Amino acid sequence: MNIEQAIEPCPIHKKSCISTIDTDHSHAIPPLKYSISEEKLMRKLTDAVNSTAGSHILRIDDHSLHCQFRTKVMKFTDKAAFVLDREKKLIHFKSESTKGYYDFGVNRKRMNALLQKLTNI
C-alpha cells in the first residue's frame, strides 16, 4: 500500500493538522516504528485509541484504523487515521481538526500522548 495514497498531506494553510508524511515543521511528526506482530499492534493501537478521552473508532481493518476525537472544552471533532507500512514496519498517521485552521496544538499533544501509550512495540 502506498502511504501517500492512504494518508493525504495536510493542507498548507491549516495549522490544526499533523501528519507523518508532511515535511514542513508545522505539520510534520515522525512515524512510529514497531517490531511486534501486526495483529498485536492493531490490538494495542485500538486499546490506545479507546482509552483516549472523546474517542470513537469509525473503521478498522488489518492495516489501518480511522477514528475521531471530540475535544473536551469546545466539543470540536478531530479525525485521525493510522496506516501500517508493512515493509518498513512503521505506523504512519494523520490527525486534523474538521473545523477551523488553528487548534492550539491539541492534535499534536493528543497524538504524542497516544504514541506514548504505544512505546516499546
Above 80 in pLDDT, residue 96? Answer: yes
What's the structural domain count of the chain? 1
pLDDT tens for each residue of 62-82: 899 999 999 877 788 999 999
Cα–Cα distance, 118 to 35 (Å, whole number): 11
Range of the domain at 111: 3-117
Tell me the pTM.
Answer: 0.90
CATH number of the domain encompassing residue 103: 3.30.310.80
Q: Which of 57, 96, 52, 99 is nearest to 75 (CA)?
A: 99
Q: Are 7 and 65 in contact (CB under 8 A)?
A: no
Cα 34 to chain centroid, rounded:
15
Place of cell 517490531: 35
